[in-house]
Amino acid sequence: MIFYFSGTGNSLYAAKYLAEHTGENVLINMADAVREKKFEYMQQPGEKIGFVFPVYFGGMPSVVAEFVGKFRLQSDEVPYVYTLVTYGGKAGGSVQAFQSALDRRYVTLTAAFGVKMPDNYVCMYDPATEEKARDVLGAAEADLVYAVMQINDRKNPGIPHTMMDTVMTAGMQVAYRMMRKTASFKVDNDCIGCGLCEKVCPVNAIEMVDYKPVWVKAECVHCTACINRCPVHNIQYGDKTKKRGRYVHPILNPESE
Ligand SMILES: Cc1cc2nc3c(=O)[nH]c(=O)nc-3n(C[C@H](O)[C@H](O)[C@H](O)COP(=O)(O)O)c2cc1C
Ligand code: SF4
Ligand code: SF4
């Protein structure tokens, strides 16, 4: 069983890769699970339990924190539980934050992996260009192969982190809370009314009104799916994103969810 969350496809790709190569074919989107209030799961004998998600502000996306905060795992054995985080620069204290959250649910994290993937954070800086993304994704394959080998052998190589990472993450999470406010979203006049932004939002924060997106929740996960996936780059966040590029993993074609 692999639980995942992904805004622009990197973590979805990683989760699908792990599913294919570790034989754990049950993939559960944590955002869907939160929407459906489905937090209780049963481990089958010998089943490995994985969690795959992107690093946000050195920690977990809010919807992952919400899911893990209510997660319940029933099992008749001590399960092998791993996480694989994808990040654009540095995993920070994300694994430690996740581990603490799991501990509170009486589930012990056995192994952790970090895979550098293209940066998608358009609200803060220019995301990876096509060329850069190709290079980074090429290098990520080796990290994924390594993770698969470790997972299949039920090992725990750990990922390096310092006390400073944990301290920095706590500070960065304050900024995350601010950035999650949807009041900064704007739409240009090029909207073609396709509704993709509404469809891909993991927390239903967008509704189409008169063929234009309207943010109906005060806060969201800030996953950047709406901004990065809009086919005509019509969505902006603040006043800097207009000049920036967009990033979407090739696993997501413009029409897929
Ligand atoms: C809100 C937000 C915050 C982010 N913060 C970090 C960060 O603190 N460190 C980092 O290395 N990458 C950060 N990133 C980049 C993503 O972790 C990275 O691009 C990830 O692979 C995206 O995964 P996805 O395509 O599955 O959504 C951030 C991205 C977003 C949208
Ligand atoms: S994805 Fe872009 S073009 Fe499509 S409805 Fe949303 S803003 Fe308009
Ligand atoms: S509104 Fe946009 S950035 Fe916020 S959660 Fe929905 S898709 Fe992601």
| Ligand 1 nearest-atom number relative to CA 116 | 21
- Our count of domains for the chain comes to 2
Over residues 150-158, mean pLDDT: 91
**Domain-embedded: residue 257:** no
Asked if residue 256 has pLDDT above 60, the reply is no
CATH number at residue 39: 3.40.50
Looking only at the bridges linking them, the beta strands covering 72-74 and 49-54 are: unpaired
- Asked if residue 165 has pLDDT above 90, the reply is no
On whether the CB atoms of residues 75 and 111 are closer than 8 A, the answer is: no
Give first-to-last CA distance, the chain, whole Å: 21
Ligand 2 centroid from CA 185, angstroms: 13
> Which CATH number belongs to the domain containing residue 190 in this structure?
3.30.70.20
**Residue 156 Cα, ligand 3 centroid: separation in angstroms?**
34
Average pLDDT over residues 186-194: 95
Q: What is the pLDDT of residue 254?
A: 52
Residues 6+ apart with CB under 8 A from 173: 57, 58, 59
Last residue of a domain, one of 119, 152, 173: 173
- Ligand 3 lined by 180 (C-beta under 6 Å): no
pLDDT band at 168 (very low <50, low <70, confident <90, very high): confident
Helix H or strand E segment including 214: strand 212-215
Query: Does 251 map to a domain?
Result: no
Based on the domain organization, do 16 and 140 belong to the same domain? yes
For residue 36, report the distance from its CA to the centre of ligand 1, in Å.
25
Q: Does the residue 208 lie in any domain?
A: yes
Atom of ligand 1 minimally distant from the CA of 176: 1
Question: Which residue's C-alpha comes closest to atom 2 of ligand 3?
Answer: 226
- According to DSSP, the residues that pair with 185 across neighbouring strands are 237
pLDDT of residue 159 exceeding 90, the answer is no
Residues 206 and 158 in one domain: no
Q: Is 253 part of any domain?
A: no
Same domain, 81 and 123: yes
Torsion of CA 212, 216, 217, 223, to 10 degrees: -20
Q: Is residue 47 part of a domain?
A: yes
Q: Which ligand has the minimum distance to the alpha carbon of residue 197?
A: 2
Domain span at residue 188 reads 182-243
List phi, psi (to 5°) of 230: -60, 125
Q: What is the pLDDT of residues 25-69, one digit of tens each?
A: 999 999 999 999 999 999 999 999 999 999 999 999 999 999 999
In a domain, 150, yes or no: yes
pTM of the predicted model over 0.75:
yes
Residue 134 pLDDT exceeds 60: yes
Residue at a domain's end among 143, 173, 203:
173
Residues 47 and 129 in one domain: yes
Q: Indicate whether 222 and 120 sit together in one domain.
A: no
Return d(Cα 41, Cα 58) in angstroms, integer: 27
